[in-house]
Amino acid sequence: MQNTDIKLTISSSPHLRTSEGTSSIMLDVIIALIPALAVSMYIFGIQALIVTAVSVIFSVFFEWAYRKLLHKSKTIGDFSAIVTGILLAYCLPVSTPLWIIVVGDFFAIVIVKQLFGGIGQNFVNPALAARAFLFSYPVVMSTWVKPLSYTSFLDTNMTDAVTGATPLASLSNSVLPEGINLMQAFFGQIGGSMGEISAFALILGGIYLIIRRVITPRIPLAYLLTVAVLTFIFPRGNNNLIWMAWNLFSGGVMLGAIFMATDYATSPITPVGQIIYGIGCGLLTVFIRYFGSYPEGTSYAILLMNICVWLIDKATMPRRFGYTREMKQAEKAKLKSEKAAAKEANA
C-alpha cells in the first residue's frame, strides 16, 4: 500500500479544536475598542492616538523584553499586551505625559502580569492596577482637557490646553453638570479619561463582543443595572432618571463594565459567579462615588472585586448534572450525623 511509512501522531481525544483561540479573542477586543478611539480623537485631537500608540508599543515591548530576558516563550503573538496597552491609555487623561504612560505600561505588564506568570495568571486587571499606581502623580491624573478645545487637530502641545471640570466632579457634589446635555455626554462630548468619554462608542464595542461571543452580557449587565438601580433610588435630590443617566454616561463605568470587569483572568468563570461579581462591582462603584473623597469609583471597585474572584468561583460551583436538592440535603444530614458521631467518639 502507498504511504506505508507515514508517521502517525497519537494523542488523547478530542482531536478537533475550535478556531477561536486567545489571539482571535484579543483581536476581537481590539476591534471592539476602535470606536472609542475614534471618538476620543475627534474630541481631543491627534494626541489621543499618540497616547494610545505609545502605550501599545511599550506594553508589547515590555512583554517581549521580559520574556526574552528570562528565556521564556514568546507571547506577544497572543495580542493580550496590545489590549492592556490600549486599556491603560483609555483610562488616563489625554494630557498625561508620555513618560508616565511608559511607567504605567511597565507596571501593568511586568509587575502585575508577568511576575505572576503571564496571561491568565494575574489576579488584578493590569491596566487598572497601573492606573491606580499612576495616582502617585495625582495632579497629572486629574487634569482634564476640555472637549473640542484644541486649536488644530494635529496640535500635540498639551501644556497650555484648556482644562475643565468633568461631569463626575459636579456629580460628586450632588449637582447635575452644567453647560452640556445628556445627549452630548452619551456620545462623548465631555471631559474625562481618553477612552471612557463616549458611552455610545463603548456600547457599540460591547455589542460586538457579545455577538462574537467573546463575552457574555452577564457581567456588564449586572454591573450597569446595579449602578442604574442604586442611582435611580438614591438621586441625591435630583430627578431620578436624569441623575441615573448622568451616572451611567459619565466617568469610567461604561468602560469598566464592558471592557475591564469582563477581563477573563480577573473575573469569575461560573455563570452565577459572574452575576455576583457584576453586582459587587456596581455596588462598590456607587459607594465610592457617593461616599468616597474621590469622584470616580470604577477602577477601585473592579480592583476590589478582582481579589474576591477566587472566593466567588469557589462559592458558585455549578450544581453537577443529576444532583437534586434532596441529594444535597441527604448529604448534608449525613455529614452532620457523622460529625456528631465523631464528637461523641471523642468525648
Partner 1 sequence: MSRKFFGGVHPFEGKSLTENCPIQVLPAPEQVLIPVVLHIGAPCEPVVNVGDHVNLGQLIAKATAAVAADIHSSVSGTVAAIEPRLHANGKMVQTIVIDNDMQDTIDESVVPHTAEVEADPKALTEIVRKAGIVGMGGAAFPTAVKITSGLGKVDNIIINAAECEPYITADHRIMLEQPEEVLEGVRMLTKLFELPYATFVVENNKKAAINKLREFVKDDNGDIRIKVHKTLYPQGAEKQLIQSVTKRQVPPGGLPADVGCVVFNDYTCWAINRAVKTGMPAIDRVVSVTGPGIKNPGNYRVRVGTPVRKLIEAAGGLTDNAQKVLMGGPMMGIAIYDLDVPVVKGTNCILVLTDKENRSVAEPNCIRCGRCVAACPMKLMPGTIYHYERAKDIAMLQKLHVTDCIECGCCTFICAGRLDITQSIKMAKAQVNALRAKK
What the block records as the C-alpha cell of 315 is 462559592
The conformation of residue 137, written as its DSSP 8-state character, comes to: S
- 10 Å CB burial of residue 225 (0-12, 13-18, 19+) is middle
The gap between the terminal CA atoms of the chain, to the nearest Å, is 77
> Closest distance between partner 1 and the C-beta of residue 255, in Å?
20
Applying CB under 8 A, which residues contact partner 1? 1-3, 6, 8-22, 25, 73, 75, 78, 80, 118-120, 216, 264-265, 267-271, 274, 313, 317-324, 327
Q: What is the DSSP string of 146-177?
A: PTT--SSTT----TT--B---HHHHHHTT---
> Closest distance between partner 1 and the C-beta of residue 175, in Å?
41
Closest residue by Cα to residue 36 from 207, 184, 205 = 205
| Cα–Cα–Cα angle for 300, 306, 308, rounded to 5 degrees | 115
> Alpha-carbon distance 318 to 154, whole Å?
53
| Cα–Cα–Cα angle for 16, 21, 27, rounded to 5 degrees | 150
> Closest distance between partner 1 and the C-beta of residue 240, in Å?
35
> Closest distance between partner 1 and the C-beta of residue 218, in Å?
10
Q: What element of type H or E holds 263?
A: none
Nearer to partner 1, 99 or 321 (CB): 321
Which residue pairs, CB below 8 angstroms and at least 24 apart, start in 185-189? 185/246, 185/249, 185/250, 186/249, 187/39, 188/39, 188/40, 188/42, 188/43, 188/147, 189/43, 189/147, 189/148
Q: What is the DSSP string of 202-245?
A: HHHHHHHHHHTTSS-SHHHHHHHHHHHHHHHH--TTS-HHHHHH
> Closest distance between partner 1 and the C-beta of residue 110, in Å?
18
Nearer to partner 1, 87 or 230 (CB): 87
> Alpha-carbon distance 237 to 55, whole Å?
41
Nearer to partner 1, 96 or 306 (CB): 306
Nearer to partner 1, 75 or 226 (CB): 75
Nearer to partner 1, 94 or 275 (CB): 275
Residue 249, classed as helix, strand or coil, is helix
> Closest distance between partner 1 and the C-beta of residue 283, in Å?
22
Nearer to partner 1, 29 or 228 (CB): 29
> Closest distance between partner 1 and the C-beta of residue 343, in Å?
22
Nearer to partner 1, 142 or 216 (CB): 216
Nearer to partner 1, 170 or 270 (CB): 270
Nearer to partner 1, 113 or 131 (CB): 113
Q: What element of type H or E holds 336?
A: helix 325-346
